[in-house]
Amino acid sequence: MKVSIITVVYNRAATIERAIRSVLNQSYTNIEYVIVDGHSNDGTMAVVDQYRDKIATVISEKDHGMYDALNKGIKAATGDIVGILHADDEFTNETIIQQIVEKFESNPVIDAIYGDVGFVQPGQEHKIIRYYSSAIFRTNLFKFGFMPAHPTFFCYRRFYEQFGYYRTDLEIAADFDLLLRFLRKHQLFTVYIPEMLVRMNMGGKSTNGISSTIKINKELKLILSEHKLPSSYIRLYSRYFIKVSEFLRKGKAKR
């Protein structure tokens, strides 16, 4: 079973090598690594070029944002399974992809897999400051703005072809829209791995202050309305009480 890992990057010279090494150091060998660069100008590509002989596909050109870049990467992929690793993130250990593959191979009805993510500060990658568990996720929680940890989501590539890619008209919540379509509308059969699969840097689009909070909730409300799901800003903002507890349970991270 071939696994395609997609990394999209723009001006992340300081962190891209950690992400690359995280993929290349995986114990599972049948990995197709695809990097999509948005025409960085900070030396990112100089770092990528050091590993180019071990990377299946490198695309470096201007794009229309992160979700456009993700779509390019997925369309360039040829693996059976697709996963995403952002340029600021890393897998928590070298056996993550092996575990993912073993789960898929153990049961042919599995369509998708997800797990937990730990948030870290740049330069303190082994100090978990927030732990996002996907354990409580159920599809009825979409109306509150909840979803599984997107950086840990793996599914068969054919589902992108069948059900559509990331929306490029959304700036910050296209991952929510895609997971809602895949998991609720099309009812993919999912398996949850109760483990931290990815360490993720704080400061991304969805965790970058009050402006991103307002923006993401506007987009979430729009998405839910389009899917004819009941929601309100009261419901959406109520989930932040749960997010506070994620900082308190950071000590439960397994590694």
At 159-178, the pLDDT tens digits run: 999 999 999 999 999 999 99
Q: What's the mean pLDDT when you consider all of the chain? A: 91
Q: What is the CATH classification number for the domain harbouring 192?
A: 3.90.550.10
| Maximum C-alpha span of the chain | 50
Q: Angle formed by the axes of helices 210-226 and 233-248, to 10°?
A: 130
Tens digit of each residue's pLDDT (9 = 90 or more) over 26-67: 999 999 999 999 999 999 999 999 999 999 999 999 999 999
Rg (CA), the chain: 17
- Residues 8-19 pLDDT 10s: 999 999 999 999
**pLDDT at 247 exceeding the cut of 70:** no
Which amino acid, one-letter code, is at 36? V
Phi and psi, residue 197, nearest 5°: -90, -30
Going through the chain in order, the beta strands assigned E by DSSP cover 3-9, 31-37, 57-60, 81-84, 90-91, 112-120, 130-132, 154-156, 190-201
Residue 76 reports pLDDT greater than 60: yes
Indicate the pLDDT class of residue 255, thresholds 50, 70 and 90. very low
pLDDT over threshold 80, residue 125:
no
Residue with tokens 């690793």: 85
Mean pLDDT confidence for 141-145: 92
- State pTM to two decimals: 0.90
pLDDT value at residue 243: 55
- d(CA 157, CA 215) in angstroms, rounded, equals 29
User: pLDDT digit string (tens) for 181-221?
Assistant: 999 999 999 999 999 999 999 865 555 557 788 899 999 99
Residue 244 has pLDDT above 70, yes or no: no
CB contact at 8 A, 117 and 195: no
**Which residue range(s) make up the domain with 204?**
3-252
Structural domain count, the chain: 1
